[in-house]
Amino acid sequence: MKKYLKHDEWNIIEEGFHVKYNRISESIFSLGNGRMGQRANFEEFYSGDSLQGNYVAGIYYPDKTRVGWWKNGYPEYFAKVLNAANWIGIHIELDGEMLDLAKCEVDDFYRILNMKEGFLERRFEARLVSGKIVKVVAQRFCSIVDDEVGAIRYSITPVNFSGPISVTSLIDADIMNEDANYDEKFWLGIDTATKHDEAYVIAETKKTAFQVCTGMKFEMQLAGETIEYKCTHHNRDKYAACVADFNCEEGKTIEIHKIAANVSSMNYPKEELMSQCEKLVQTAFAKGFEGLKAEQAAAWAKKWEESDIIINGDIAAQQGIRFNIFQLNQTYTGEDERLNIGPKGFTGEKYGGSTYWDTEAYCLPFYLSTADQRVARNLLIYRYKHLDRAIENAEKLGFKDGAALYPMVTMNGEECHNEWEITFEEIHRNGAIAYAIHDYIRYTGDQAYLEEYGLEVLIGIARFWNQRVHFSSRRGQYVMHGVTGPNEYENNVNNNWYTNYIAAWCLQYTMDCIEQVKATAPNRWKEIEEKVKFYEYTEMGAWKKVATNMYLPYDEEAGVFEQADGFFDKEWEKTVDDLSKADRPINQNWSWDRILRSVYIKQADVLQGLYFFEEEFDEATLRKNFEFYEPRTVHESSLSPCVHAIQAAKLGNIEKAYEMYLRTARLDLDDYNNDTEDGCHITSMAGTWMAFVKGFGGLRVKEGQLILNTSLPAQWNGYSFKIRFRGSLLKVNVDQSGTSISNQSADIVHVLLNGKKIELHPSSEELLA
């Protein structure tokens, strides 16, 4: 772990320039607004180690797959959200000497992410090689009001000199992804334009032919008055800049205001990109930096009013949860159903920025409880719109008759992951998508979604499961071979318990949903039946056989579900306590062969299933499996601690729940797994919210009933959170005296709170001691 960031309830603070951690800081201090995002790179030129990152949502490149041995069914490419045009660049030359923190003595370096108001600030004093000293204060943000706009205020003060200064305000699309498989650049230059104080670049992605216009307008002020300056323009392929030359005076601060915009062909006709970008830039510029910043603060205040979690008595835990909520709110807004949530969001290149099963398994609950219902609905509609591609994906692997295999990784519905044990074997992702439909309907009561979209998806997934299993005459049951469960430290196994269980559940749930739609919307059912060519008697008969006779591995000696066939042939007596510090994390210190042969588990596998379906098992079963599998889990997936926190809380092990909560909440802030430099773990941040609200808050919904079973860690004096539920907004407060819940909406709400049924009238509050 790296504990170089200061604990603070509302801010992420770096005091001093930690050069060796710069990439980590670039990830942690990232900004976004759901439409675009930006790593915390410096505005001024920097020749030191850095991962440059500017991202525009939905814009990707199909990078040709790089594998040593091609197998039938392999995706031809890995989709990557691209490093887009650098719009933040403000290069400073002082009498011909470039300001570059890699070549300066840096003092009083201070970087702060203001989560309450949604902006990044950086301050420093730099002594150049020549001896010149400058002070810089920079603020910037990606507007969540105008989600194609970014704004910068960059103030520079010459401390011990006067003389010529050159300011280059640039747009640079001549960039590349660090993770490019073949070291190629993915952008083609289309057009550039410059005016006195404006610059624009249009670039187009190779192959996918997306176009993005990035533009900017800037001004410079001294004591609040605009400076007159000599301006020259530089235009070349994929690059446009305005260079201002003037004289600075010792002790007098120059303020540079730069307003920028990204517009893409996803939202505008290509022939209008330049004009639309100009219009957007000029409109935002007219508001001014302070006007835009005030709008930003007001918009964030509204977000925090609905989604904040308050923890009393534990600053580290408080900072962690707010950081997670902040990143989630600036990654996905639900405004555009074509977009989804990449594991790294707008904070880095790793995982390609594509959609994984993380969205359904971990992110959906956060948006269900903290945002308008349409936000979660749009996440599910995203998958419905990719159903035809899921059927094509299944066909490539030999499945037929409308079977659907959703991709492990995708930008457009087509599978684009290039590791065989993932692409071909980690098929449990289908189950997560089906479970998300169940979870959404259970929480919202939105049965119309099932009729309009969900049932078609469920039928496609059920057809896949029915074809993927086979009957074992030796066992007299259906089995599933050659899979990888959520624990990716065990590949190509037979009968992964979680995969088998969720497949059987999905078949039964789909049959139940068919009967429901037949009863409530018979005309719609006829449309679906005809559209998907459903043969009720033969298909449901086959599904029933599989659902009721699926093999689920169980070890009698240990008294737990067996993760997969052969798990107990490993050295299962070992636990994580047997590992030395030098071994951890094992994925960075052991060979893959050694990992696969070991008993160690990357993330919740059996426990993932018990978390999803806990109401199907008694407490003794949940406890026995938790106490067996958790000590063997190394939690080297960011998605692991949250599931364990929820289950530990349910079992009354609040100390373990707190340990797991703090780990997931501060996973990136403290760089637990030595991988934050690649970007933050955005989807696991939704898991942090789940660990809190489903763990300590005990949030569940059963048969339309909202249930809360609260617990209070010993480290906290109290906490509070808000949740939306079926049009109502509730606030829950827990402290040493008990739990209170208030209804901040206009309707009566029924809650089962710590075992007691409560009827909450509008604007009322109930306290349970």
d(CA 71, CA 416): 14
**Cross-strand bridge partners of residue 156:** 136, 254
Beta strand ranges found along 42-178 (DSSP E): 54-56, 60-64, 77-81, 90-94, 97-98, 105-114, 119-127, 133-142, 149-158, 163-172
Dihedral through CA 94, CA 97, CA 101, CA 105, nearest 10?
A: -90
- d(C-alpha 162, C-alpha 376), whole Å: 56
213 by Cβ neighbours in 10 Å (0-12 / 13-18 / 19+) ranks as buried
Alpha helices in 131-269 (DSSP H): none
| Distance set, CA 73 to CA 390, 488, 726 (Å) | 13, 20, 43
Q: Which amino acid is at 70?
A: W
Give a three-class secondary structure readout of 598-610.
CCCECCCCHHHHH
Task: Point out the catalytic residue in the list 219, 488, 562, 677.
Answer: 488
| Single-letter amino acid, residue 620 | A
Q: How far is CA 274 from CA 194, 216, 281, 694, in A?
A: 11, 11, 11, 47
Q: Indicate the DSSP class of residue 491.
A: -
Peptide bond just before 641 cis, omega within 30 deg? no
Q: How far is 576 from 75, CA to CA, in rounded Å?
A: 36
Q: Residue 642: is it exposed, middle or buried by C-beta count within 10 angstroms (0-12/13-18/19+)?
A: buried
**What is the C-alpha separation between 58 and 38, in angstroms, rounded?**
15
CA angle at 675 for the pair 37 and 16, rounded to the nearest 5°: 75
Tell me how far apart the alpha carbons of residues 612 and 359 are, in angstroms, rounded to a whole number. Answer: 15
Helix (H) or strand (E) holding 689: helix 682-690
Tell me whether residue 148 is one of the annotated catalytic residues.
no
State how far the Cα of 247 lies from the Cα of 190, in Å rounded to an integer.
Answer: 35
Q: Measured between alpha carbons, how far is 128 from 158 in angstroms, rounded to an integer? A: 11
Q: Are 144 and 326 in contact (CB under 8 A)?
A: no
Q: How far apart are CA 454 and CA 456, in angstroms?
A: 6
User: In this structure, how many other beta carbons lie within 10 angstroms of the beta carbon of residue 569?
Assistant: 7
Whether 260 and 241 have beta carbons less than 8 Å apart is answered as: no
Non-local CB neighbours of 307 within 8 Å, separated by 6+ positions:
325, 329, 370, 371, 722
Tokens of 264: 């893409």
8 A C-beta contact, residue 40 and residue 25: yes
- Burial class of residue 185 in the structure, from the number of CB atoms within 10 Å of its CB (0-12 exposed, 13-18 middle, 19+ buried): middle
Give 73-96 as a 3 state SS string: CCCCEEEEECCCCECCCEEEEECC
The Cβ-side half-sphere exposure at 107, using a 13 Å CA radius, reads: 8
The Cα 103–Cα 46 span in angstroms is: 9
Read off φ and ψ for residue 9, nearest 5 degrees.
-70, -35
For the chain, state the CA radius of gyration.
Answer: 27
Catalytic residue numbers, as ranges: 488
